[in-house]
Amino acid sequence: MKNKDIQFMENSLPFWKDLSAIEKNILSDSLIKKNYKKGSIIGHSENECTGFLMVKSGQLRVYSHSQEGKQITLYRLLEMDSCIFSASCMLRNINFEISIDIEKDSEIFIIPADIFDDISSRSLAVKSFTLDLVSSRFSDVMWIFEQYVFTNMASRLSGVLLDQVSLSGSDELNLTHEHIARELGTAREVITRLLKQFQTDKLLRISRNKVEIIDKNGLKKIHGD
Is residue 76 domain-shared with residue 101, that is, in the same domain? Answer: yes
116 and 196 inside one domain: no
Amino acid at 51: G
Could you give the CA distance from residue 225 to residue 223 in angstroms, rounded to a whole number? Answer: 5
Residue 103 shares a structural domain with residue 17: yes
Q: Kindly indicate the confidence band of residue 211, based on its pLDDT and cuts at 50, 70 and 90.
A: very high
Shared domain check, 85 and 9: yes
| Domain assignment of residue 101, yes or no | yes
Residue 96 has pLDDT above 80, yes or no: no
In a shared domain, residues 85 and 165: no
Per-residue pLDDT at 49 exceeds 80:
no
Nearest C-alpha neighbor of 222 from the set 161, 166, 146: 161
In this structure, the answer to whether residues 87 and 182 fall within a common structural domain is no
pLDDT at residue 197 in the model = 92
Are 111 and 157 part of one and the same domain? no
Domain boundary among 95, 113, 141: 141
Q: Can you tell me the distance from the alpha carbon of 77 to that of 58, in angstroms, rounded to the nearest whole number?
A: 8
22 and 122 together in one domain: yes
- The per-residue b/e assignment along 121-154, b for 16 or more CB within 10 angstroms, e otherwise, is eebebbeebbeebeeebeeebeebeebeeeeeee
Q: Which CATH number belongs to the domain containing residue 86 in this structure?
A: 2.60.120.10
Q: Which domain holds residue 93?
A: 3-141
* Domain finish residue from 89, 119, 141: 141
| Cα–Cα distance, 198 to 153 (Å, whole number) | 12
Shared domain for 136 and 167, answered yes or no, is no
Q: Which of 113, 141, 169 is the last residue of a domain?
A: 141
Helices 113-122 and 124-150, packing angle to 10 deg: 120
Average pLDDT (174-200) is 92
Does residue 146 fall inside a structural domain? no
The tally of domains found in the chain comes to 2
Do 115 and 10 belong together in one domain? yes
Q: What is the CATH number of the domain that holds 161?
A: 1.10.10.10
Task: Tell me what pLDDT residue 46 has.
Answer: 55
pLDDT band at 1; cut points 50, 70, 90: low
Query: In the predicted model, is pLDDT for residue 43 greater than 90?
Result: no
Q: How confident is the model at residue 185 (pLDDT cuts 50, 70, 90)?
A: confident
My answer on whether 180 and 202 are in the same domain is: yes
